[in-house]
Amino acid sequence: MKVRKGLAAFSIMAAAAGLGIGLAWNAGLFGNGAAAAAAANEVIHEEAALRAEQLAFTEPYLEHVTREFRVASGESLIGLLTRAGATQAEANAAISSIASVYDPGRVRPGLPVSLSFYHRDDAVQLTGVAFRSEPGASVTANRLTTGGFAAREVQMPLNFEIARVAGPVRGGLYASALALGATDREVSALATQFSYDIDFQRDVRPGDRFELVFERFYDDQGNTVRTGDLLFLGLNTRSNGSRAFYSFLAPGDSHPEWYDADGKSSRRFLMKTPINGARLSSGFGMRLHPVLGYSRMHRGTDFAAPIGTPILAAGDGVIERASPFSTYGNYVKIRHGGGYETAYAHMLRFGRGIGPGVRVVQGQIIGYVGTTGRSTGPHLHYEVLQSGSQINPMTLRVANGRNLTGRSLELFQIERERIDTLRQARSEEGGAAAAVQIRTRAAAP
């Protein structure tokens, strides 16, 4: 485009020069030979200057070519450069520069990479490399006059929106939410808040519905760079009905909590499932023991999960024991209020700082799934004890957290209306994963 504009400009200037000669002739400036020759020479010099100016503006565009390549399966970034025509020395220099701001080993197959080459006669030189290093950031490397390259990673401006992800469960809740645009962060929060009274393995089935409303920051290609505050969580299951929670920072609190539409806390005294993404593999009651081979009372609940999956404290309390214990392997016991205790067995290892006498809060990581002690595979054995006797965690009913009253309740109702307005606007725009277009420009984090 710039070359065409330059050629057009040259044509106009040449026409103007020709017009000048004609006017000079008509004005009698070429009345004698000497004067005519001087005028002609001046015009020739002017035309030469115009041609030189034209070349100065257009030659760089004619001699530089930019092409896009994609990283092939099993190909490294340096391999792509040499495949595209760069010499080994140029590729080494470019990669060495890029490595100062980005690990070239992180590139993945299919990544688009723009390469610029300088062509003159039979010589070809690599002059530039550019690619998207991650959502919201690009890496560029440009050739210096010394022959080396200078690289930098540029954080791009981000767009902001309130996103709503809602739809039916298809296969699994986690995969369904991710498919519609949620991230691990939102799905984990939903699982944590509903883990007090919902068993995700038994209670959530295909066709049940969920809803998430959260802040999203995205780049110019629509890729999510990061998410901000989570505002709303909703889950409608056939076994438990419809439940919804709103995020609200009550006066005097240091962080937001979750409340239902009436301002009642989502928190329960103890979680029903103190682990995310696990499968209930054995319930409370009589069973055929998988190791001993005969029926006996199973006084807890087993959750099968990959080794290393975080285990959470089911409620606020104080660690009574954190050590290997009989057939339980690595074992943690927490004392809560009201005569309740919880126990966690077969851990791979304990969480950081976990030991007797340490105070923990609900949801804090206290250990990681393992298969220590008498165990046939990686899982968490979870027990709830009341006055020293094990009870069924799945049927436990204990008091909620605090409920809002007075001015706090009034402020919550205002925030609830704001969130519901956003939800309604998003729903009316159509599409489960569309977003309220409150888009502003924001600096990259």
Q: Report if residue 137 sits inside a domain.
A: yes
What confidence score (pLDDT) does residue 226 get? 87
Q: How confident is the model at residue 244 (pLDDT cuts 50, 70, 90)?
A: very high
Residue with the bigger pLDDT between 44 and 425: it is 425
Give the model confidence (pLDDT) of 15-29 as tens digits: 544 545 554 445 444
pLDDT at 3: 43
Pair (236, 290) in one structural domain: no
Using the structure block, give the residue that is written with the tokens 């006059």.
145
Over range 204-224, report the average pLDDT.
89
Q: Which residue has the tokens 């949620």?
A: 182
Give the pLDDT mean for 350-367: 94
Q: Identify the residue with better confidence: 13 or 173.
A: 173
Domain assignment of residue 375, yes or no = yes
Other CB atoms within 10 Å distance of the CB of residue 89: 10
CB atoms within 10 A of CB 105: 8
pLDDT, position 193: 82
How would residue 115 be classed by pLDDT, with cut points 50, 70 and 90? very high
Q: Is residue 274 part of a domain?
A: no
Last residue within a domain, chosen from 128, 155, 182: 155
Mean pLDDT, range 193-213, rounded to an integer? 81
Same domain, 75 and 166: no
Q: Same domain for 298 and 344?
A: yes
CATH of the domain at 296: 2.70.70.10
Q: Which of 96, 130, 155 is the last residue of a domain?
A: 155
Distance of alpha carbon 193 from alpha carbon 273, whole angstroms: 11
Range of the domain at 19: 2-62
Alpha-carbon distance 211 to 194, whole Å?
13
Is 35 domain-assigned?
Answer: yes
Does 54 share its domain with 114?
A: no
Q: Any residues with CB less than 8 A from the CB of 329 and at least 6 apart, and which? A: 345, 346, 347, 370, 371, 372, 373, 374, 375
Which CATH number belongs to the domain containing residue 116 in this structure?
A: 3.10.450.350
Q: Is 328 within the bounds of a domain?
A: yes
What value does the mean pLDDT of the chain take? 81
Calculate mean pLDDT across residues 412-440. Answer: 72
Same domain, 139 and 165: no
- The domain tally of the chain equals 4
If one counts every other C-beta atom within 10 angstroms of the C-beta of residue 306, the result is 11
320 and 245 in a single domain? The answer is no
Backbone φ, ψ for residue 317 (5° rounding): 175, -165
Summarize the confidence of residues 417-426 as an average pLDDT: 93
φ, ψ of residue 247 in degrees (nearest 5) = -80, 135
Residue 308 in contact with residue 344, Cβ under 8 Å? no
Side chain identity, residue 149: F
User: With 60 as the cut, is the pLDDT of residue 431 above it?
Assistant: no
Per residue, what are the HEC states of the chain?
CHHHHHHHHHHHHHHHHHHHHHHHHHCCCCCCHHHHHHHHHHHHHHHHHHHHHHHHHHHHHHHEEEEEEECCCCCCHHHHHHHHCCCHHHHHHHHHHHCCCCCHHHCCCCCEEEEEEEEECCEEEEEEEEEEEECCEEEEEEECCCCCEEEEEEECCEEEEEEEEEEECECEHHHHHHHCCCCHHHHHHHHHHHCCCCCCCCCCCCCCEEEEEEEEEECCCCCEEEEEEEEEEEEEECCCEEEEEEEECCCCCCCCEEECCCCEECCECCCCCCCCCCEEEECCEEEECCCCCCEEEECCEEEECCCCCEEECCCCEEEEEEEECHHHCEEEEEECCCCEEEEEEEEEEECCCCCCCCEECCCCEEEEEECCCCCCCCEEEEEEEECCEEECHHHCCCCECCECCHHHHHHHHHHHHHHHHHHHHHHHHCCCCCEECCCCEECCC
pTM above 0.85, yes or no: no
In a domain, 285, yes or no: yes
Amino acid at 405: T
**Domain termination site, one of 155, 178, 193:** 155
Residues 241 and 183 reside in one and the same domain: yes
pLDDT(297) > 50: yes
User: In terms of DSSP bridges, do strands 441-442 and 158-168 run parallel, antiparallel, or are they unpaired?
Assistant: antiparallel
Could you tell me the two tokens for 256?
Answer: 């937001």
Q: Hey, which of 30-44, 286-300, 359-373 has the most confident mean pLDDT? A: 359-373
How far is 387 from 338, CA to CA, in rounded Å? 9
**Confidence label for 5 from pLDDT (cuts 50, 70 and 90):** very low
Q: Which residue has the higher pLDDT, 8 or 79?
A: 79
Same domain, 201 and 245: yes
pLDDT of residue 59 exceeding 80: no
User: Is residue 249 located within the same domain as residue 332?
Assistant: no
pLDDT at position 19 is: 46
> Is the domain of 13 the same as that of 47?
yes
Cβ atoms 421, 438 nearer than 8 A: no
272-281: pLDDT as tens digits: 788 876 677 6
- Tell me how many degrees the CA angle 303-307-309 measures, rounded to the nearest 5: 65
Quickly tell me which residue has 């390259």 as its tokens. 149
- In this predicted structure, what is the pLDDT of residue 56? 45
* pLDDT value for 23: 47
Residue 197 has pLDDT above 80, yes or no: no
Task: Give the pLDDT score at 6.
Answer: 47
For 393, list phi and psi in degrees, rounded to 5.
-65, -30
Domain co-membership, 163 together with 149: no
Residues 244 and 257 reside in one and the same domain? yes
Question: Is pLDDT at 154 greater than 50 in this prediction?
Answer: yes
**Residue 165 Rama label (left phi>0; alpha psi -120 to 50; beta):** beta
Q: Which of 418, 409, 416 is nearest to 436 (CA)?
A: 418
Asked if the model's pLDDT at residue 83 lies above 90, the reply is yes
Q: How many CB atoms lie within 10 A of CB 103?
A: 10
Report, in angstroms and rounded to the nearest whole number, the Rg of the chain calculated over CA atoms.
35
Examine residue 273 and state whether it is found in any structural domain, yes or no: no
